């Protein structure tokens, strides 16, 4: 029950049982996503209406058993026990099981029935079971389990009303199931808990039971961390006493499957196995084929990327147009001054430059969610496992890495599917190296300016494209090397397992895809609304203040001069305005920082203007274009194909007349952008996912140093 007295239902189940589909159906858009303290598991809460009763529903991460091997898996036990502060102990456990895969699903059921809490079983995918020739005696199953069993088809909504009715009844009845498959172990755990309590150590007996059974598991690990060794020693002794031959974990698994096999034999009637192949088998013959499957995979990735860039461009242009128009409108209708500048140049331009990536992120996530829900993702991980292992990771790291090509933020969020903590961290730190869409405008500008338009093979291959490809490969190389180094040194450890279910293919429901997409959009927008917002204002303030009146007066004089001459030349006025903006920027704090820091970047061939632009783009790398635009005084409203900006930066010189933007300097600058972690959103998301500032800060230092050294080497050796 929650603190306010609202009943709580915990939703649990194996992965791929349609659990999140059911959660979405039951709660609709009334969902809240948060994080459990100290772990990287997302906390999904939703409101479920049972007639007049409003219930809080918690969606727990998919799990095959209650034997936790990591802090993330332990969350399930903690929630069920009511050990998470702000949730409260569940009044009822709703477990979703896959009717077409009854035996493995019943394993978790057998563990839940022993918790001493009311349980309701939702028997999902009844349609698939019937299709596979499996007939289940639902009434008999309910009788054997001693809890209500409700057949449903979550994807079509069948049986949901009935499920709600049963949930409502069960919340009132509070009937506790009475399964006890390993009474000797449970008894021993209870006795130990009582004994410890007398000694002043409060440990729930279920946690002791898990520690007893799951040798080397997380429950044991946590006891070792938080209590004195005597507790651990007692667990070990007890374990030795209880195991008559095989270890407790073996006894546990054997006993449960023994019970399951006897149970299933009484309630399930399989039709005599027909020679008919399932649809999944047909699809897999092609899709998981070593040769055709690999080709299919490459094609699919090509289509995904093509779409992310091709489909997103019009949307991004449109969003860009809206933010620019909004900015211009405000500028025209508000009195000039610091506040208007804050709104237009700080808030709208700053946040707008990040929001603009929303289309790409959404399109990429639409693909990822579709591939995941359809069952293909497991096949992709299966195929990519060996190549990914070459760099010390597993097939599961592939999708997060791939997502990072659009944006490292969703990529890092996607590392949640990696069960091994070391692998997850290595992937998280390698992901920001992938060429994200924010790097693209920077590359586009510099390539357009400094790489000649040479083509070969009737225009099929061109030099500019090759340079872009090289930059992509450089990012991959950086990420892969980082992962490899990490896994060989600080993140060294036993190779994690690759035990992964290959779920049958199914067509994801549009509703479910859209809901998940909405979730991702919210997380991204919230990020843009907080961190990016703050940082945008900070950079604006640095670039705006102190804003002395003397500059205004000086330019105003010239403007008046021109107007007095009578022949008002619009372009001349614009030029003056731009020069004024540049003069302001030069004496602003940002300009001063640029000048102060310029000696550091001098060996890279950068002057104070480039240095200031790079400094300003640390919160969001694509900002560099806008800042360069202002500094080079063509007005801050420029985009990468603005030839005037290209012309300006090309013709800018050092005081002695030599060109600043030489080819080695530009290549160095691109390499700097390829490596450097200039993204507040990424730093913030790493902080959120790891729960510490140390890792994002180390990552930032490492990537920035790498960018600096790369640019330095290229510039010094080449020129």
Partner 1 sequence: MKQIKDSFTLDRLGAGKKAFVRGFTAEGPVMQRLMQLGVLEGSEVEIIRAAPGGDPIEIRVMGYCLSLRKAEAQMIQVEVIG
Backbone angles phi, psi at 460, to 5 degrees: -70, -35
Select from 64-72, 305-313, 544-552, 575-583 the region that touches partner 1 (CB under 8 A). 64-72
Q: Shortest distance, CB of residue 256 to partner 1, whole angstroms?
A: 8
Q: Which residue number, 291 or 332, has a Cβ lying nearer to partner 1?
A: 291
Q: Shortest distance, CB of residue 181 to partner 1, whole angstroms?
A: 14
Listed in sequence order, the DSSP H helices in 334-407 are 338-341, 349-355, 358-374, 376-389, 398-403
For partner 1 (CB under 8 A), the number of binding residues is 39
CA gap 211, 203 in Å, rounded: 11
Select from 40-48, 102-110, 146-154, 581-589 the region that touches partner 1 (CB under 8 A). 102-110
State which H helix or E strand residue 33 sits in: strand 31-35
**Chosen residue from 64, 259, 311, 545 binding partner 1 by CB under 8 A:** 64
Contact status: 305 vs partner 1 (CB under 8 A): no
Q: Shortest distance, CB of residue 65 to partner 1, whole angstroms?
A: 5
544's tokens: 């705006």
Contact status: 352 vs partner 1 (CB under 8 A): no
Select from 54-62, 495-503, 585-593, 657-665 the region that touches partner 1 (CB under 8 A). 495-503
446's tokens: 């510099």
DSSP state of 281: H
Q: Where are the beta strands (DSSP E) in 36-189?
A: 42-50, 53-59, 92-98, 119-124, 134-136, 149-151
N-term to C-term CA, the chain: 70
Contact status: 382 vs partner 1 (CB under 8 A): yes
Select from 42-50, 162-170, 201-209, 491-499 the region that touches partner 1 (CB under 8 A). 491-499
Backbone angles phi, psi at 187, to 5 degrees: -60, -45
Give the x-and-dash track for 221-260 against partner 1 (CB under 8 A): --------------------------x-xx--xx--x---
301 contact partners, CB below 8 Å, separation of at least 6:
402
Contact present, 25 and 142 (Cβ < 8 Å): no
Neighbours of 332 (CB within 10 A): 8
Angle at 96 between CA 90 and CA 100, to 5 degrees: 165
Contact status: 65 vs partner 1 (CB under 8 A): yes
Select from 99-107, 202-210, 533-541, 653-661 the region that touches partner 1 (CB under 8 A). 99-107
Q: Shortest distance, CB of residue 213 to partner 1, whole angstroms?
A: 9
210 contact partners, CB below 8 Å, separation of at least 6:
66, 67, 68, 77, 217, 219, 220
Contact status: 498 vs partner 1 (CB under 8 A): yes
Q: Shortest distance, CB of residue 394 to partner 1, whole angstroms?
A: 9
CA gap 273, 283 in Å, rounded: 20
**Chosen residue from 29, 54, 86, 103 binding partner 1 by CB under 8 A:** 103
What does 621-689 look like in DSSP terms, one character per residue? Answer: TTHHHHHHHHHTTS-S---TT-HHHHHHHHH-B-TTS-BSS-HHHHHHHHHHHHH---BHHHHHHHHHH
Q: Shortest distance, CB of residue 389 to partner 1, whole angstroms?
A: 8
Select from 231-239, 343-351, 376-384, 648-656 the region that touches partner 1 (CB under 8 A). 376-384
Give the x-and-dash track for 193-222 against partner 1 (CB under 8 A): ---------------------xxxx-----
Q: Shortest distance, CB of residue 26 to partner 1, whole angstroms?
A: 25
Considering only residues 111-170, where is the footprint of partner 1 by CB under 8 A? none
Contact status: 378 vs partner 1 (CB under 8 A): yes
DSSP helix/strand/coil, 44: strand
Considering only residues 68-97, where is the footprint of partner 1 by CB under 8 A? 69
Contact status: 502 vs partner 1 (CB under 8 A): yes
Q: Which residue number, 43 or 256, has a Cβ lying nearer to partner 1?
A: 256
Residues that bind partner 1 (CB under 8 A): 64-65, 67, 69, 100-101, 103-104, 107, 214-217, 247, 249-250, 253-254, 257, 284, 288, 290-291, 293-294, 378, 382-383, 385-386, 395, 495, 497-503
């Amino acid at each position: 029950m929650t603190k306010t007295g609202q009943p709580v239902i915990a939703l649990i189940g194996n992965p791929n049982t349609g659990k999140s589909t059911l959660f979405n159906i039951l709660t609709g858009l009334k969902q809240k996503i948060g994080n459990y303290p100290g772990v990287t598991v997302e906390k999904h809460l939703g409101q479920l209406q049972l007639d007049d009763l409003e219930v809080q529903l918690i969606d727990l991460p998919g799990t095959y058993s209650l034997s936790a091997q990591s802090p993330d898996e332990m969350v399930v036990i903690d929630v069920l026990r009511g050990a998470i502060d702000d949730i409260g102990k569940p009044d009822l456990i709703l477990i979703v099981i896959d009717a077409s895969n009854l035996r493995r699903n019943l394993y978790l059921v057998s563990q839940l029935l022993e918790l001493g809490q009311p349980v309701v079983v939702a028997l999902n995918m009844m349609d698939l079971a019937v299709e596979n020739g499996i007939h289940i005696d639902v009434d008999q199953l309910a009788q054997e389990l001693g809890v209500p069993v409700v057949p449903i088809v979550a994807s079509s909504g069948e049986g949901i009303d009935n499920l709600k009715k049963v949930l409502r009844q069960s919340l009132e009845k509070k009937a506790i199931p009475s399964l006890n498959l390993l009474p000797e172990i449970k008894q021993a755990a209870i006795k130990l808990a009582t004994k410890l309590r007398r000694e002043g150590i409060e440990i729930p007996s279920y946690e002791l039971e898990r520690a007893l059974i799951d040798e080397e598991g997380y429950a044991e690990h946590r006891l070792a961390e938080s209590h004195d060794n005597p507790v651990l020693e007692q667990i070990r002794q007890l374990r030795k006493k209880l195991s008559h031959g095989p270890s407790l974990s073996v006894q546990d698994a054997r006993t449960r499957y023994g019970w399951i096999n006897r149970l299933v034999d009484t309630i399930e009637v399989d039709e005599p196995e027909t020679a008919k192949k399932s649809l999944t088998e047909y699809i897999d013959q092609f899709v998981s084929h070593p040769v055709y499957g690999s080709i299919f995979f490459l094609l699919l990735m090509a289509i995904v990327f093509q779409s992310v860039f091709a489909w997103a461009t019009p949307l991004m242009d449109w969003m860009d147009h809206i933010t620019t128009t909004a900015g211009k409108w405000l500028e025209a209708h508000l009195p000039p001054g610091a506040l208007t500048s804050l709104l237009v140049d700080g808030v709208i331009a700053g946040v707008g430059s990040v929001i603009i990536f929303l289309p790409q992120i959404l399109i990429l996530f639409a693909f990822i969610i579709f591939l995941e829900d359809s069952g293909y993702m497991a096949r992709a991980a299966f195929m990519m496992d060996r190549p990914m292992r070459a760099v010390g990771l597993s097939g599961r790291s592939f999708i997060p890495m791939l997502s990072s090509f659009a944006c490292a933020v969703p990529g890092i969020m996607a590392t949640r599917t990696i069960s091994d903590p070391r692998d997850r961290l290595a992937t998280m730190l390698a992901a920001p190296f992938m060429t994200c869409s924010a790097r693209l405008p920077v590359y586009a500008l510099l390539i357009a300016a400094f790489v000649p338009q040479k083509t070969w093979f009737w225009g099929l291959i061109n030099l500019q494209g090759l340079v872009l490809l090289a930059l992509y490969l450089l990012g991959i190389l950086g990420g892969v090397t980082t992962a490899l180094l990490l896994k060989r040194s600080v993140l060294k450890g036993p190779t994690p397992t690759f035990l992964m279910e290959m779920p049958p293919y199914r067509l994801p429901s549009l509703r479910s895809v859209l809901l998940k997409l909405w979730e991702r959009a919210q997380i991204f927008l919230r990020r843009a609304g907080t961190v990016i917002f703050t940082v945008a204002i900070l950079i604006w303030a640095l670039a705006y203040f102190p804003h002395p009146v003397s500059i205004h007066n000086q330019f105003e004089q010239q403007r008046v001069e021109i107007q007095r001459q009578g022949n008002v030349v619009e372009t001349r006025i614009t030029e003056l305005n731009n020069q004024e903006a540049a003069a302001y920027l030069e004496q602003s704090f940002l300009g001063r920082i640029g000048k102060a820091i310029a000696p550091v970047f001098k060996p890279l061939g950068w002057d104070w203007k480039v240095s200031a632009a790079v400094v300003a783009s640390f919160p969001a790398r694509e900002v560099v274009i806008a800042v360069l635009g202002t500094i080079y005084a063509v007005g801050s409203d420029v985009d990468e194909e603005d030839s005037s900006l290209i012309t300006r930066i090309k013709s800018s010189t050092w005081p002695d007349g030599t060109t600043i933007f030489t080819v080695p300097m530009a290549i160095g600058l691109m390499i700097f952008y390829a490596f450097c972690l200039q993204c507040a959103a990424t730093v913030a998301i790493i902080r959120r996912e790891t729960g510490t500032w140390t890792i994002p800060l180390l990552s930032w230092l490492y990537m920035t140093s790498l960018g600096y050294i790369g640019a330095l080497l290229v510039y010094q050796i080449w020129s």
